Amino acid sequence: MRSWVTAAFLVLACAFPAGAAADPVPTITLDRDGPVTLLVQSKSALNVLNLAVTSPLIQPVCTDCKGGEALSLGAMSKGTEIVLRLEDAQQTFLSTNPAHARIDQSGGTWRIGWDDALGDGDFEDLVVTIAVPTLAPAVDRDGDGISPPTDCLDTNSAVHPGAPEVPGNSLDDDCTGGDALAKIAAVVTVKWEEHRAGGVRLKRFEVKDAPAGAQIAVRCRGKRCFKERITRASAGGAAKLVSRVPRRIRPGWTLDVIVTAPNMIGKVRRYDVRKRDMTDGRTFCMLPGAKNASRC
């Protein structure tokens, strides 16, 4: 007795080895990125077989299929499921027996073949081919072994994923999303002597090796502290600070020397003044736009 078909829903995904004899539910999931095309082939005129594809949006392929119909499904990404919906209005063409459908895969091409209702075993009464052409690799212009878009700057062989990031060079060396901020490596030198009234008197207080034009601020915290003093580093990166602060630095004060420059992590040296001496200083960082120092 001939099988009668009212509708068949087939989910197409790529987990089946080439030459599989039969699949209870033919399924294809794309295993690569690329433009997807679909082609219908038939041994005889189908006439009233309707075919639509969901991927995931429904796109009609043909409503009066005769074989030779083609459809471009556009660019799709790996993992996309393609679903074919077949409807045989004459209820005579396709078999509902799962042994009468087979998927074969070769590289980026999937061939889905169905038998007719009699099941003659050739899997060629209706064939739908889905193909994803292998795209040629992008040209590696800088010869670092990595092509775009993975290589975010293909004109510089020192820039590629896995490369060491060089802070502050305006390059995303490791292609992780931007240049790392460089830290200011200025040196603050302090020499002092005990003050007879308590606290200390600064004999030398200066900054060296700062970026040219960097802002240098001296902040004081404590009872009867002086207001913040601000200056700029010279073209050689130096600044003398002794003349910018009181001669006597009182016990209980805390002095911060803050060196900042645009798009760099600032350096902060902090000194605590005791009854007759001051500490050697601690180093903190100042992030761009921050008002207070933080741990580095």
Q: Which of 10-14, 72-76, 210-214, 250-254 has the lowest mean pLDDT?
A: 10-14
* pLDDT, tens digit, 9 for 90 and up, residues 107-139: 889 888 877 767 677 888 788 888 988 767 778
pLDDT higher for 141 or 5? 141
| Domain presence at residue 1 | no
pLDDT per position as a tens digit, 257-293: 999 999 899 999 999 999 999 999 999 999 999 999 9
Please indicate, yes or no, whether residues 191 and 112 belong to a single structural domain of this protein.
Answer: no
pTM for the full predicted model: 0.54
Instruction: Return the closest-CA partner of residue 192 out of 234, 231, 233, 246.
Output: 246
Q: What range defines the domain where residue 61 resides? A: 8-131
* 190/220 same-domain check: yes
In a domain, 2, yes or no: no
157 lies in the same domain as 250: no
Pair (12, 123) in one structural domain: yes
Domain count, the chain: 3
d(CA 136, CA 2): 48
The closest alpha carbon to 244, from 216, 272, 210, belongs to 216
Distance, CA of 181 to CA of 8 (rounded, Å) = 60
- What average pLDDT is seen over the chain? 82
Is residue 155 situated within a structural domain? yes
Q: Are residues 204 and 265 in the same domain?
A: yes
pLDDT of residue 7: 31
Determine the residue type at 270.
R
pLDDT at 201 over 90: yes
274 domain-assigned: yes
In a domain, 116, yes or no: yes
Could you give the 3-state DSSP secondary structure of residue 36? strand
Q: Does 233 share its domain with 274?
A: yes
CB atoms within 10 A of CB 79: 12
Same domain, 122 and 171: no
Residue 89 pLDDT grade (very low, low, confident, very high; cuts 50, 70, 90) = low
Close Cβ partners of 175 (under 8 Å, ≥ 6 residues apart): 150, 151, 152, 153, 159, 160, 161, 163
Q: What percent of the chain has pLDDT over 90?
A: 48
Which pLDDT belongs to residue 91?
52
pLDDT band at 102 (very low <50, low <70, confident <90, very high): confident
Q: Give the pLDDT band of residue 6 (cuts 50, 70, 90).
A: very low
Which residues make beta-bridge pairs with 76?
Answer: 34
Domain-embedded: residue 138? no
Residue carrying the six token digits 């004060």 = 253
Whether 294 is in a domain gets the answer no
Least confident residue range of 89-103, 171-185, 210-224: 89-103
CB 286 within 8 A of CB 268: yes
Do 95 and 203 lie in one domain? The reply is no
Nearest to 52 by CA among 38, 41, 42: 38
The domain that holds 82 is classified in CATH as 2.60.120
Q: Are residues 117 and 22 in the same domain?
A: yes
Phi-psi group of 42: left, alpha or beta (phi > 0 → left; psi -120 to 50 → alpha; rest → beta) = beta
Report yes or no on 141 lying in a domain. Answer: no
Do 174 and 187 share a structural domain? no
Q: In this predicted structure, which of 92-106, 188-202, 232-246, 267-281 has the lowest mean pLDDT?
A: 92-106
pLDDT level of residue 146 (50, 70, 90 thresholds): very high
> Domain containing 198 — which CATH number?
2.20.130
In the chain, the percentage of residues whose pLDDT exceeds 70 is 80
Does residue 213 sit in the same domain as residue 258?
Answer: yes
Indicate if 277 and 224 belong to the same structural domain: yes
Residues with Cβ within 8 Å of 290's Cβ and at least 6 positions away in sequence, in order, are none
